[in-house]
Amino acid sequence: MAHPKFESSNLRVHCVRLEPGMEIKSSLLSYAKENNLQAPFIMTCVGSVTKATIRYAAQPTADSTVDLNEKMEICSLVGTLGAGGHLHIVLGREDGSTISGHAIGNLEVFTTAEIVVGECTDLVFNRTFDSRTGFDELDIQKRT
């Protein structure tokens, strides 16, 4: 089933720095709510964490998570923040290897998290249950 294509020609950019001990996902969701961002997404992020809870791809349930407790660099953080958010993260370990997955939460900042958030100012991001995937998926609407 094809979904309608939405184009946005209006972009607003927000720059956020999270400090040591702050939790990244909840902080970003709070920032989006406090600033009434209706179609926010992550443009870029650098920083580090001391712990993270992630879910690897194709796990049997949404509860199949892994808790990481180590100092890691944020190599990538991508996704949308509307309606509870959907974020994926790549973390670099001390030995140079990486680990990645769906960012569930518990992403505690170690030194900093420098994040640039974009917002399509003429759209709204919601999440709607998709019976084919079993998850709430992105539902894009024109802002009225």
Residue ranges in the chain modelled with pLDDT below 50: 1
CATH number at residue 38: 3.30.1330.80
Cα(67)–Cα(105) distance, integer angstroms: 10
Instruction: Tell me the two tokens of residue 56.
Output: 């690897």
pLDDT at residue 18 in the model: 97
In a domain, 2, yes or no: no
Range of the structural domain that residue 38 is part of: 11-142
Amino acid at 106: N
**Cα–Cα distance for residue pair 87/19, rounded to 1 Å:** 19
Note whether residue 66 is domain-resident: yes
SS3 of residue 32 by DSSP: helix
**What pLDDT, on a 0 to 100 scale, did the predictor assign at position 3?**
62
Sorted by sequence, the CB contacts under 8 Å of residue 144 that are 6+ apart come out as none
Residue 105 lies in a domain: yes
The answer to whether position 55 is within a domain reads yes
pLDDT of residue 4: 62
The tens digit of pLDDT for each residue in 14-49 reads 999 999 999 999 999 999 999 999 999 999 999 999
pLDDT at 64: 78
Query: End-to-end CA distance of the chain, in Å?
Result: 25
Total number of domains constituting the chain: 1
